[in-house]
Structure 1
Amino acid sequence: MSTPILIAYDGSPDARHAIEETARLFPGASAVVLYARQPLESLAAHLEGHPALEDLRDIDAKTFDASERLAAEGAERARALGLKAEPRVASIPEEIVADAIVDVAEELDASLIVLGSRGRHGVRAVLSGSTSTRVVHSTGRPTLVIPSTPLAAARRADR
């Protein structure tokens, strides 16, 4: 697959909407649906030798399985809408999700990065940051941020 579209996916309605819009705008395009997960490795490092460590490893393995299912769900949704999509999971110890998205886009030589947006603003956006804003400011690749359906409706109503 050469120069696919990279679609960030977390299973949210906003991410599903981003897949739908990508399929509408780029029918039949090749895509990679990426779920970025933060493994529990950093916590595990503090528990070396502790009996709870084995339980933590078991939980992390289960969350990885869930991450793979989530990425597969996104890719399946994209394929149902006509995209040639494959799932991908990125484990991002010590990284933020936006960095993982940019890193995978570079690795794939993605032609476009697509993200959904919840439209956070005010104090919440300042404190938590916005994945889409961080990606836009961290990459030189074309990036399409698709607003959620409620956000788009609110913006139309404010005109």
Structure 2
Amino acid sequence: MTVLIAFDGSDDSRAAVEYAARHLRPEPAVILSVWEPLLSQISWAPIAAAAPTVMQTGGRTEFEEQRQAELLATKGAEFAAAAGLPDVTPRAERSGGPTWAAIVDVATEIDASLVVTGSRGLSGARSVLLGSTSTRVLHHVNRPVLIVPPAKTADKDGGKDGGEG
């Protein structure tokens, strides 16, 4: 069985990797970084729907976004191995739409036994406006999902705050 861990380099995705390393039975893991050419992101984003975008690659076969995603996936795999996960494989995947859909597709392709993702901890209106990759993965992938919440941080009064909301 293989664990798929979504990784974007954020503190939340690092927390998800660390949690998986501490709490899951050792098994092969794929660290997934999803990428998309910038102009493609603009073309499907709801705010840009009124203005069509023509994507020009200048004849390039590789995008800078792809190279960055491959580096990010490699760094994520190194981080996962240092956290204690054995047999870690980095993977950068181009998405033709939202990030959550690429995560769902890769989970299905590799027959992941579990999908692990971090959560930005958004609530209320911000969650509705920005969407939630982890929530969409949870509702669209037909396999177990572990969503790791943001780490608690000390607030100004010295107490603990579990994030927003």
**Same fold, TM exceeding 0.5?**
yes
Number of aligned positions between the proteins: 146
Query: Identity of counterpart residues, as a percentage?
Result: 43
Which has the larger helix fraction?
Answer: 1
Could you tell me which amino acid in structure 2 is paired with residue 30 of structure 1?
A: P
Q: 1:64, 1:112 → 2: CA distance?
A: 25
Please state whether the residue corresponding to 1:110 is helix, strand or coil. Answer: coil
The correspondence of residues 35-74 of structure 1 with structure 2, limited to 5 A, is 35-40=33-38, 42=40, 46=54, 53-54=57-58, 57=60, 61-74=63-76
Please state whether the residue corresponding to 1:127 is helix, strand or coil. Answer: helix
Residue 19 of structure 1: aligned partner: 17
Q: 2:83, 2:28 → 1: CA distance?
A: 12
Could you tell me which amino acid in structure 1 is paired with residue 162 of structure 2?
A: R
Pair 115,136 (structure 1): closer, same or farther in 2 beyond 3 Å: same
After superposition, the C-alpha distances for 1:48-91 in whole angstroms (9 at most, x for unaligned) are 5xxxx529x48x62221111000000011111122121100110
CA shift for structure 1 position 47: 5.0
Pair 140,34 (structure 1): closer, same or farther in 2 beyond 3 Å: same
TM-score (norm 2): 0.79
Give the CA RMSD over aligned residues.
2.4
4+ aligned runs moved over 3 Å, structure 1 = 40-43
> Is the CA contact 2:38–2:65 (under 8 Å) kept in the aligned structure 1?
no
Q: 1:77, 1:66 → 2: CA distance?
A: 16
Q: Structure 1: where are the runs of 5+ without partners?
A: none
Q: 1:137 aligns with which of 127, 136, 139?
A: 139
TM-score (norm 1): 0.82
Could you tell me which amino acid in structure 2 is paired with residue 154 of structure 1?
A: D
After superposition, the C-alpha distances for 1:12-61 in whole angstroms (9 at most, x for unaligned) are 00101100000001253210000011124646x7155xxxx529x48x62
Could you tell me which amino acid in structure 1 is paired with residue 27 of structure 2?
A: A
Residue 161 of structure 2: aligned partner: 154
Q: 1:123, 1:108 → 2: CA distance?
A: 35
Q: 2:21, 2:38 → 1: CA distance?
A: 34
Please state whether the residue corresponding to 1:71 is helix, strand or coil. Answer: helix
Q: 1:62, 1:104 → 2: CA distance?
A: 21
Please state whether the residue corresponding to 2:162 is helix, strand or coil. Answer: helix
